Amino acid sequence: MEYRVIIAGHTCRTCKMGPASSPEAVVDRLCRVHGVEGLRVIDAPVMPEIPRGQHQRRVHHDRRAGLRLFNRKPIA
**In terms of residues, how long is the chain?**
76
How does DSSP classify residue 23? Answer: T
Task: Please confirm, yes or no, whether 10 is among the known catalytic residues.
Answer: yes
pTM over 0.85: no
The count of domains in the chain is 1
Per-residue confidence (pLDDT) for residue 16, from 0 to 100: 86
CA nearest neighbour of 41 among 3, 11, 73: 11
Q: How far apart are the first and last CA of the chain?
A: 42
Whole-number mean pLDDT of the chain? 77
Range of the domain at 64: 1-76
Q: Looking at per-residue confidence, does 25 or 53 come out higher? A: 25
